[in-house]
Amino acid sequence: MRKNIVAANWKMNLDRVEGITLVEDILGKISLDSKTEVVLAPSFIHLYKLGKMCDDRRNIFIASQDCSASNKGAFTGEVSAEMIASCAAKYVILGHSERRTNFSETNELLKLKVGQALANNLEVVFCCGESLEQRHSGAHFEWLNSQISDSLFHLLAEDFSKIVIAYEPIWAIGTGVTASSDQAQEAHNFIRDIVRKRYGGNVANDTSILYGGSCNPVNSAELFSQPDIDGGLIGGASLNADDFVAITDSF
């Protein structure tokens, strides 16, 4: 049975003190009995400390926002999956549209990063999504299919079970524009269907698919009520404890 997951992507925000303060606030507000899995994805500098802060909470986990495609070596500024795993992280986010656009990350590069993550016992939140131009031209389903199949469909079913997919329409990230619940459901259903065609019904039905486009406390309940939307990858709203906790309570 697939999990409901709400993940906080802090992006490049919050210094050390601000990050600790936010997590303390979240831990004080979030229900210990919540069945929703909560994932916090801070900058690399926070991983070890926040992992320690959350290690006694059964429903709160830490994620990295990225990892290197290489295991180790002369790659100045890179952080390996092995290093991330040593900080007690459970997840790594890969393929975010900002990484694809600003750092020219390709499907082939992401395939390598996925391999590094899985080899180090990290689960992957794999992002995919289309631009406004692709949606208007009707190419968005073909684009989603290529992003997912090129980077993930080489995996055996056992390894694919460690993948969470996050659908993030690029035109709805940081713009204040949100896909309607019907638009989001349509995309999530399409993603689940291509997973079903590749791996079968059991794997598809067990795969959590998150919505990642300007999800907030106002629209989260409606989005999460859709049959194929299993939670959210939250950007700006995750920097406010009250807003983030309200989203986690939306199921």
Query: Do 7 and 41 meet the contact criterion of CB atoms below 8 Å apart?
Result: yes
Cα dist from 180 to 33, 220, 228, 248, whole Å: 30, 11, 14, 19
Q: How far is CA 223 from the centre of its chain?
A: 16
CA dist 237 and 229 (Å) reads: 18
Residue with tokens 């959590």: 208
Q: Which residues contact 178 (CB under 8 A, 6 or more apart)?
A: 172, 213, 214, 215, 216, 219
Question: Which residues are known to be catalytic?
Answer: 96, 168
Instruction: Determine whether 122 is exposed, middle or buried from the number of CB atoms within 10 Å of its CB (0-12, 13-18, 19+).
Output: buried
Contacts of 104 (CB under 8 A, 6+ apart): none
The count of residues in the chain is 251
CB 1 within 8 A of CB 227: no
